[in-house]
Structure 1
């Protein structure tokens, strides 16, 4: 320890004696100084006569520092003996001394010297003051401990321990009696009485709050027990047995777009056609129509239903838009129009889940369509960027679907302003098995601007075993039916190869698989490219493969395939031109169609040939 020089010890900045500037009780560092001062006073040879009497003013338990307790214990053992400081030093300098003593800076002898310096610095006449500070600090610590013990006893219904803690608090004042004048003693007695009364009120309030909290917890446990699923858990299967099971054939709700038993997230920009797309989904699931003209659909089984939970549109709008779809099997579709009541769809809440499970199970729902997530998050006060909160809602949807026996779920969500992905938490990207995306053509000069309401719409899909390139959506206004048209905002090699294959099949009808591979390899670049393009074309219905003699196949182009040639091989066509199909016999030298509008405008080559012309 560094102490003031001998000539400086008893002076302060204001010139008053240092003894009047003793450290206060406000912190642990000050308390250590009080304890060191007491120990130094007892060890001082000048106080040898009084030390044996005054040492009784303190107890080992009053000290907060473990090393100070060891020092005081040694003082108690040797008090009254000559050379007390030397005996205590020898007592604590042994190898088996407590680790707190061994950790003292400079060793025990230097530390005891520091303690005596503190006693000299703050004056021997203030010994009683320092003892009182040490004992009062102990009383405060002990009172907090007893309060905690009483609180734990109440929580555990241990009345005996609670009474013991109160009794111990009543005996604490004996450790804090100061040697003061009668007036000061009366003041401290009054302060203690006020403190005890406050402590009594605190404990009463604490007991009441504990009982209230316990009642709420037990009530929640009681309700959860009523609602809990008590069905037995399935037994695990060994890996040996699992690998021995027959592999199931891949099954699809919508071929190439929606695997059976999947969770689908449709992310759509503002006014990009998500409600129209949902209507097309519902129609195809009910009637078995091809979705977007390219995907075979497994409709819901007889007796099963498609459930639409709509939180966005008024009831009249929902009715009108679904009527336009001309759904034939209307009994297979159930609709909840819940606009303005999204707060009731709190999938985090067990009671709400049980309610929806009962509704959906009673309706025998096979496919569940939720349009859309944003109103639900808003009504529940959930930040859509919070992965934990959004994840809890998504997990609740999974739980409801599983308990209600629902096979497939389609969840609709908004894209952010100017974005190309689902708005909000990244959990929305990882939750679905497949992501569908609806976008609008943007202004190339100002990509951040909101797209024109009449701008072209595009659809794409990716996920587990799903990879559908971005393509244009053609809208038939009377029925609100959508058709997927090859070629997105950026055309890729696969799309170009598909277009060339369709032209070859159109001009060489009836060829088998081998004949197509050999004949079109030069045009597409390789037999592998032909195989890949042919697989995509037949899956989407652009090419029809009919049985031929000797177990072969004959390939011809379909009307939809001719329309795709029109879309891929000219300047952009309108929805009406695509739906009407190619007119006349205006073709490029390469075999691609040229639209009549482009031909009349002077075009004599298709867009692909124009791209190949050097600038």
Structure 2
């Protein structure tokens, strides 16, 4: 059966064969899909920038040429010219880390009290632009005022909470307007990416949607004239990787992951890094006001020791036998860490284990 698209068919269903009606709808839908695909192709062709692509470059010549740009923006953590993805567990200090990064970028000095930072060079625009999709103006000003930034005149902030649909840099026409408005800075920070994805109707669990946005972000930063960027995102339920698609963990210079063990206000905070850098194992952070500093690398054994101290404090407070899951819900931490800590406490006879009662302190058995 051959049916022409958008053909004239009898309007009344009683005069139309069901098979013909179905075929008509299928063909019309195919026609609409083909039109949409052709529209996408034409838009992509119009926005292509082949003329801006780099020419061939001889490797021997490039190796012989002097390198004027520093290798690192932040020593061992942020390669110059790269993009960082910052993943933060709830209340682990994502905003604090972001303000600490901004301070290091414009003031230089020691990031986290340890890593030498090459302050971004002067340029035609601000040194750093922060696109913030989460905070109100008063909240943002409070955080940055407390951050102790000296060169605040080098930082520009753009408050986009509730305005994500107008910030669609995946759309060539919109991107051109955004470049005209915000171009000229050295480093751009998108904080955080989740609300923007939602505003644009993209699924954070879809690798294709996430990769499309991050690729468009890199192109956008390049057109803005930016040299480096950071994208922040919320962690998933386990607090140790980005929420949603695995594409968040790729296509960047490094992933920094902020973790928190426990729900209480003073719960320990940790940072680990991975990617096209040497990487840093899970490391304890000290929190002093709005400043984060490195305390030291924690091996699994040291982490278990620290968790053991929390378990002892908790058991002393409740004064009754507790199951492992109950303990973990109160002190936080991963199941392997809590299990190892309990095992070491039992082996050292600091805690008793009863198959029926659970875990308790030695004097409870007397």
TM-score (norm 2): 0.69
Distance 1:195 1:337 in 2: 57
8 Å CA contact 1:252, 1:258 repeated in 2 = yes
Distance change >3 Å, CA 214–CA 277, structure 1 → 2: closer
Does structure 1 retain, via aligned residues, the 8 Å contact 2:103–2:147? yes
Quick check: 1:371–1:412 contact (8 Å CA) kept in 2?
A: yes
The alignment partner of 2:118 has SS state of: coil
Alpha-carbon offset, residue 219 of structure 1: 7.1
Richer in strand (by share): 2
Q: What's the counterpart of residue 481 of structure 1?
A: 291
1:460 aligns with 2:267: no
SS of match in other structure, 1:388: helix
Query: In 2, distance between residues paired with 1:467 and 1:311?
Result: 29
The 5 Å alignment of 1:241-280 reads 251-280=71-100
| Partner residue, 1:323 | 145
**Structure 1 residue aligned with 2:319:** none
Task: Output the CA distance in 1 between the equivalents of 2:196 and 2:282.
Answer: 29
Alpha-carbon shift at residue 250 of structure 1 (Å)? 6.4
Instruction: Return the match for 2:173 from 344, 348, 351.
Output: 351
| Per-residue deviation, 1:452 | 2.4
Partner residue of 1:310?
A: 132
1:267·1:438 contact (CA, 8 Å) conserved in 2?
yes
8 Å contact from structure 1 (residues 267, 436) kept in 2: yes
CA deviations 1:313-357 (Å, max 9, x no partner) are 111100111011121111110100111112223333222322333
Q: Deviations over 1:106-149 (max 9, x none)?
A: xxxxxxxxxxxxxxxxxxxxxxxxxxxxxxxxxxxxxx34x45x
Partner of 1:416: 236
- State the alpha-carbon separation in 1 of the partners of residues 244 and 253 from structure 2: 18
Change (3 A) 1:323 1:242: closer
Cα displacement (A) at 1:389 = 1.0
**Contact between 1:291 and 1:297, CA under 8 Å: does it hold in 2?**
yes
Partner Cα separation in structure 2 for residue 289 and residue 433 of structure 1: 21
- Which residue of the other structure, out of 193, 196, 200, is the alignment partner of 1:373? 193
Shift of 1:419: 3.4
- After superposition, residues 99-178 of structure 1 pair within 5 angstroms as 144-145=1-2, 147-148=3-4
> Which runs of no fewer than 5 residues in structure 2 stay unpaired?
8-14, 311-344, 350-366
**Preserved CA contact (<8 Å) 2:271 2:284:** yes
| Equivalent residue pairs, number | 294
Change (3 A) 1:213 1:384: closer
More helix as a share of residues = 1
CA contact (8 A) 2:90 2:239 kept: no
1:44-78 C-alpha deviation (Å, 9 max, x unpaired): xxxxxxxxxxxxxxxxxxxxxxxxxxxxxxxxxxx
After superposition, the CA RMSD in angstroms is: 3.8
Q: Deviations over 1:418-446 (max 9, x none)?
A: 2311111111111221011111124xxxx
Partner SS, residue 84 of structure 2: strand
Give the counterpart of 2:212 among 387, 392, 396: 392
The secondary structure found in structure 2 opposite 1:454 is coil
Q: How far is the alpha carbon of 1:292 from its aligned partner?
A: 0.5
Equivalent residues of 1:458, 1:488 under 8 A apart: no
Q: How far, CA to CA, are the matches of 1:219 and 1:412 in structure 2?
A: 33
- Cα deviation code 1:152-189 (max 9, x no counterpart): xx9xxxxxxx9xxxxxxxxxxxxxxxxxxxxxxxxxxx
Aligned partners of 1:416, 1:220: CA distance in 2, in Å?
Answer: 33
1:311–1:375 contact (8 Å) kept in structure 2: yes
Give secondary structure in 1 for the equivalent of 2:86: strand
Alignment partner of 1:231: what SS?
Answer: helix
1:216 CA drift (Å): 7.3
Is the 1:306–1:369 Cα contact (8 Å) retained in structure 2?
yes
5+ unaligned residues in a row in structure 1: which ranges?
1-143, 155-161, 163-193, 443-450, 496-567, 573-610
**DSSP-derived class of the 2:121 partner:** coil
State whether structure 2 residue 149 is matched by structure 1 residue 335. no
State the structure with more CA Rg. Answer: 1
Equivalent-residue separation in structure 2 for 1:251 and 1:218 (angstroms):
44
Aligned-residue offset at 1:249: 8.2
Q: Which structure is richer in relative contact order (CA contacts within 8 A, separation 6 or more)?
A: 2
CA–CA separation in structure 1 for the residues paired with 2:178 and 2:194: 19
Secondary structure class of the residue paired with 1:466: coil
Aligned partners of 2:182 and 2:206: how far apart in 1? 28
